[in-house]
Amino acid sequence: MKIMREEKRQKAEEVVELEETVLKLRQQSEKERLSALELEAVLANHKQRVEKQRRQGETQSSYRLCLERMIRDTMHP
């Protein structure tokens, strides 16, 4: 009888330890999920800024070429 009680107690302790481990892993998983969502938001914002800068660069380049043509046409009629 005493051996059976001891085994039950040990199993109960193991179950408690496993439940604590599961809880810790779930908390860690949730933190990592939130971190991933945050990084995705930062990446999306960065992509938007990069795209905006690319469009501005293209516009500036086009404007520069237009000015160069106008100057060239004015200088060489």
Can you spell out the DSSP letters for the chain? -HHHHHHHHHHHHHHHHHHHHHHHHHHHHHHHHHHHHHHHHHHHHHHHHHHHHHHHHHHHHHHHHHHHHHHHHHH--
pTM of the model: 0.62
Residue 57 pLDDT: 96
Tens of pLDDT, residues 3-23? 888 888 899 999 999 999 999
Residue 77 pLDDT: 65
Can you spell out the DSSP letters for 40-51? HHHHHHHHHHHH
Residue 76 pLDDT: 79
Residue 6 pLDDT: 86
Tens of pLDDT, residues 27-70? 999 999 999 999 999 999 999 999 999 999 999 999 999 999 99
